[in-house]
Structure 1
Amino acid sequence: MRKIQYDRFGDEQVLEVREQPTPTIGKNQLLIRVKAASINPLDWKLYRGEMKLLSGSAFPKAVGIDFSGVVAQTGPGVTRFQVGDAVFGLLDTFKGGALADYVVATEGDIAPKPSTISFEQAAALPVTGLAALQILDQLAAVQAGYEVLLNGATGGVGMLALQIAKRRGASVTAVAGPAGATLTSWGADTVLDYTKQDLTRLSQRFDTIIDLSDKLSFAAAKKLLKPRATFVSTLPSPWSLAASFLHNLFSAQKHRILILKPTAQGLADLAALAQDQLQIPVEKVYNLASVRQAYRETSRGEVRGKTVITLD
């Protein structure tokens, strides 16, 4: 089977399509024929070596976290799925491996693919959707009437978080570049162009600020927060985790950091949202042979929403 791997840290040129044996499965595992896998910012942070403390430095490494496909084989302990089922899910965040013709997963890693969405849309949903749910429901506990500032709203997480926050009854101010003007059609109450608007000069104060761009620091965001409010960032590091922990002990303005914790229930919730007309922002689709181009364009910010790679 084909699999994307790399033997050293670097840019997208380190990514190679290699032939590998089809993996075997254990008692409680499933072999899934991958139809599509999506690109996430964590992918290039890993292959560039920016997350060595979490990913380690042993090679070869694989790439790709979330996927959709069809169950090809089940172990004797599997009870919820059978051969031929269409599914979507995700692998270990720091090990990856979804960009391959086959992946091995457990029942807790996957959920039935909603019939109302394509394999490409399903592959784009797990990481971004679970991140959006975790931020809104667990880290920030967004409720009806909350005023939310969403910085970096045209990415995959942002465009899903925007829709889900509106479903929770929040008022959302979305921050993006010039291309973000269309975010009103996704539900944004207000859209700000960061190339024209200095966020630190806003007079409005927010219950929740979510920074998906990694460009708004907590120090800068504090002046935009209400006295009891939450700032959420999405790039964990040992230093930021320690600093936020100490800060949160003494302040009503909380700094929460997303560490994605996938759950089977979360995938089921995403499937239900997809069935209920959640828009899934798939912007570009590539084949496996174009994997370097796909990562190059996406990592440079040339793609709004999600990029998906098909493996048929």
Structure 2
Amino acid sequence: MKRIVYDKYGSVDDLHAVEVNKPIPDKEQILIKVKAVSINPLDWKILMGEVKLVSGKKFPKSVGCDFSGTIESIGQGIQKFKAGDDVFGVINPFKEGVLGEYILVNEKEIARKPANLSFEHAAAIPTAGQSALQMLTKNVNSIKGKEILINGASAGVGMFAIQIAKSQGAIVTAVSSAKGHHLLKKWGSDYVIDYNKEEVTNLRKQFDVIIELSAKLPFRKVKKLMKPESTYITVIPSLWNFVHSFSNNIVSGKKYKILLMKSDTESLNRLASDALKGIDIHISKTYPMSDYKEAYKTIIKEGALGKVVFNILS
């Protein structure tokens, strides 16, 4: 079977395809024939060695964490799934990768894919969808009627965050470049801002929640945009952010939180159900697995609207 791996931290050019034996599940594992894999920024952050303290020094490593596919075989201890089930999920990206023809997972990492949801759309859900869901349900009290600012809103997490926030009655201001504004409006944003034309920190408005997805709007710059009792959430798990958030939250009503997404089957099922009910999952481009270098180089350079997905249906 083919698998995309790297033997050292570096750049996209260090990725290469290898032939390896198809894995065999042990008693508690499930073997999945992969059908689609979506790209997340964490893929290249790990590849480039930005989180070495967590990802470690063991090589080779594979890339990617979100996937969908069909169960080919199961271990004797598996009770909830069977061969032939279509599933989707996310693995721990610091330990394994999913960009290949087959992967081994455990029951807690997957959920059944609804028949009416494509493999590509299912693979686009896990990390982005659960991150947005956990930001708005576990890190914030009821958001009905609250003012929410989402910076870097046109990619995967923003796509889900806007729609989830609107479904719960929030008032959303979304920030991106102009090329993403048609999607921000489609997803339901009340206000849209082009960061190339307007400096977000100069807004004459305060928010109950600020979600930072671009790594360009640090807490110190947006404190003046926060109401006295409000929440700032970032997806950047740097040591500095942990230290700063800890010291800030002891003394301030303006809370500084760092999202550490934890996947669970219940969240995956909820998001799949939302997709069937009409939540938009925009896939801006699909690549064959053989174009892995082009795909990663393009998204790193140009960004993506919604999600980018590898199709591994053959």
TM-score of Structure 1 vs Structure 2, range by shorter chain? over 0.9
- The answer as to 2:106 corresponding to 1:102 is no
Q: Could you list the runs of 5+ residues in structure 1 that have no partner in the other structure?
A: none
Partner SS state of residue 153, structure 1: coil
Alpha-carbon distance change, 243 to 2 in structure 1, aligned in 2, over 3 angstroms? same
Structure 1 residue 264 and structure 2 residue 268: aligned?
Answer: no
Mapped to 2, the partners of 1:142 and 1:64 lie a distance apart of 33
SS in 2 for 1:83: coil
1:38 corresponds to:
38
Q: CA 1:142–1:180 in 2, change beyond 3 Å: closer, same or farther?
A: farther
- Residue identity opposite 1:233 in structure 2: T
1:208 equivalenced with 2:209 (yes/no):
yes
| 3-state SS, counterpart of residue 300 of structure 1 | helix
Please name the residue that 1:226 is paired with. Answer: 227
TM-superposed CA distance for 1:302, in Å, is 4.1
Give, in whole Å, the separation in 1 of the partners of 2:142 and 2:103.
35
Distance in 2 between residues matched to 1:285 and 1:142, nearest whole Å:
36
TM-score (ref. length: structure 2): 0.97
Q: How many residues are paired up?
A: 312
Q: Which secondary structure does the structure 2 equivalent of 1:164 belong to?
A: helix
Amino acid of the structure 1 residue aligned with 2:190: D
Matched, 1:255 2:256: yes
Partner of 2:135: 135
Superposed, 1:72-91 pairs within 5 Å as 72-91=72-91
In the aligned structure 1, how far is the partner of 2:290 from the partner of 2:265? 31
SS in 2 for 1:139: coil
| TM-score normalised to structure 1 length | 0.98
8 A contact 1:30–1:74 mirrored in 2: yes
Separation of aligned partners in 1, 2:38 and 2:305: 13
After superposition, the C-alpha distances for 1:181-224 in whole angstroms (9 at most, x for unaligned) are: 21111101000000001111111110000000010010011000
Deviation >4 Å, runs of 4+: none
- Counterpart AA for 1:249: I
Per-residue CA deviations over 1:9-36 (Å, capped at 9, x if unaligned) read 2211111111111111111211000001
Whether the 8 Å contact between 1:140 and 1:232 is mirrored in structure 2 is no
Identical amino acids, percent of aligned pairs:
44
After superposition, the CA RMSD in angstroms is 1.0
Secondary structure at 2:78's aligned position in 1?
A: coil
Which stretch shifts more, 91-100 or 16-25?
91-100
Partner amino acid, structure 1, of 2:295: A
The corresponding residue for 2:2 is 2
Matched residue type, 2:79: T
Question: How do 1:58-77 and structure 2 match up within 5 A?
Answer: 58-77=58-77
The equivalent of 2:16 in structure 1 is 16
- Aligned equivalents of 1:234, 1:216: Cα separation in 2: 11
Instruction: Check whether the contact 2:69–2:86 (CA below 8 A) recurs between aligned residues.
Output: yes
1:93 and 1:245 mapped to 2: Cα distance?
A: 26
Aligned-partner SS, 1:299? helix
Other-structure match for 2:28: 28
Q: Is the 8 A contact 1:142 1:170 kept in 2?
A: no
> Is the CA contact (8 Å cut-off) linking 2:63 and 2:93 kept in structure 1?
no
Structure 2: gaps spanning 5 or more residues: none
- Helix, strand or coil at the partner of 1:184: helix
Q: Which residue of 2 aligns with 1:286?
A: 287
CA contact under 8 A between 1:176 and 1:193: conserved in structure 2?
A: yes
Aligned mates of 2:303, 2:244 — CA distance in 1: 33
Of stretches 156-165 and 293-302 in structure 1, the one that deviates more from structure 2 is 293-302
Q: Distance in 2 between matches of 1:115 and 1:223?
A: 47
Cα displacement (A) at 1:58: 2.0
CA distance in 1, matches of 2:116, 2:257: 34
Shift of 1:142: 4.6
**SS of residue paired to 1:134:** helix
Amino acid of the structure 2 residue aligned with 1:168 = Q
Letter of the aligned partner of 2:209 in structure 1? T
